[in-house]
Amino acid sequence: MTRIPLNSTEREQGGFTDRFIVAKTDLTDAVAGEAQTLVLAVLPIGTLVGAVAVRLTTAFNSADAAYVSTALTVGDDGTANLFLTSQELNAQGTTVFNKAGTGTLKAYDAANNLKATFTPTAAKKLADLTSGQVTILARLVALDQLA
């Protein structure tokens, strides 16, 4: 997983501060039907998560025609889908290429984590994916730097 801070022009255009790129090589879980969670960012005390959106750049796929689902949610330590409810990323499923988050704004009084959870088709393994890449955009604000 790669984290790329957006430059000022990109921030003005979309209102996001960070880009997270997750490729199929980041999804290594080899247990059938088991989800894998990646920590996108550590959220220090005083962080505001203001927006999340997703752009599927390459649909996830495998050689197995029965592998029909690779679902993504984005949340924090307490709620896996707080910022983004389930988005289908698999080429064999009803693929969603662009999705806005839930609109939830959350400021943290205790340290937390921004997390992406990937869930495969039941009885399939994330490690068996052969292609796929998704970009997750987020607006992360350090409130103590503004006030």
- Domains recognised in the chain with CATH numbers: 2-145 (2.60.120)
Do 4 and 135 contact (CB within 8 A), yes or no?
no
Query: For position 16, what pLDDT does the model report?
Result: 97
Residues in a beta bridge with 74: 84, 116
Supply the DSSP symbol for 90.
Answer: B
User: What is the identity of the amino acid at 95?
Assistant: T
Residues facing 71 on adjacent strands: 88, 119
- What integer pLDDT is reported at residue 135 of this predicted model? 98
Residue type, 106: K
Quick: pLDDT tens for 103-147: 999 999 999 999 999 999 999 999 999 999 999 999 999 999 887
Report pLDDT digits (tens) over 40-96.
Answer: 999 999 999 999 999 999 999 999 999 999 999 999 999 999 999 999 999 999 999
CA pair distance 101, 91, nearest whole angstrom:
21
